[in-house]
Amino acid sequence: MNHPLHAYLREEVLPGPFCPGCGNGLVLGALVRAIARAGHADLRKFAFVSGIGCAAWIPSPHLRADSLHVAHGRAIPTAIGVKLRRPDLNVVVVGGDGDIAGIGGNHLVHAARRNADIVVVMVNNLVYGMTGGQVGPTTPHGLPTSTTPYGNPEAPMDAAAVVAAAGANYAARWTVAHPRRLEEALHTALGKTGFRFVEALSQCPARVGGRLKMEPAVFLNWLKEWSVPLGEADRDATGDRFTVGEYTNRDRPGLVETLAGLRPKGGRDERG
């Protein structure tokens, strides 16, 4: 008997490249369930783009879809190019916090400002996981990493808040310990236009859990227990806890609609 999500997955690649207990499989599951709920029987109307990092392996090789694996931090501009050439496709970027908010942070901000019509799924495992667990832009203050063994001395970047402030139509953050909420956010994002950003805090047993002496299940519980709903969050009181929920949900014209409005409605195209 086939798995209900068989049509979306390349089962021949399993077991996948992730470490045992990694949260990336939970993100993959939530994404595929959201796509199925949105009414897509297969992935023919999708193009996935990813850069470098563990999370970049979520769409390729796992999804039975067209996907592009590009340079570190460059998934977003590539995805915008795909979307402008093929506006009929759902273009989805999947990447880690180092790829999306660190190396590609400038692209993230300007894609949100342009309200570019793509979905970005940022899997935040709190560090640069694939390259050894170095401190990253979203590493919580005080968390020990391979490059900050006495704890991260810096404040983390709140990527969902940055994206919302820059002009995105949708920004939300959940953890892999909130699988239904995460699926719901992805489903909402898929149903909208403009720039849509869903951050999934995820456990990295290999690079973070080992250092904190947390087994994967303990790590998963910690993500949930350390989360606080956005409406209840008082930054001063919650300190470095993870705020979860919708940062913005609006319907400004996306980049595709904005550019279509520039085309001449009739008569000669002045561009020749």
Binding footprint of ligand SF4 on the chain (CB under 6 A): 18-19, 22, 24, 54, 125, 129-130, 204-207
Nearer to ligand SF4, 172 or 204 (CB): 204
Nearer to ligand SF4, 190 or 206 (CB): 206
Alpha-carbon distance of 118 to 194, in angstroms, equals 7
CB of 115 to ligand SF4, least distance (A): 30
Nearer to ligand SF4, 149 or 272 (CB): 149
CB of 26 to ligand SF4, least distance (A): 11
CB of 23 to ligand SF4, least distance (A): 7
Sign of CA dihedral 8, 64, 92, 106: positive
Contact 70, 95 (CB under 8 A): no
Burial-class residue 54 by CB neighbours within 10 Å (0-12, 13-18, 19+): buried
CB of 105 to ligand SF4, least distance (A): 19
Nearer to ligand SF4, 59 or 254 (CB): 59
Contact 216, 141 (CB under 8 A): no
Three-class DSSP category at 123: strand
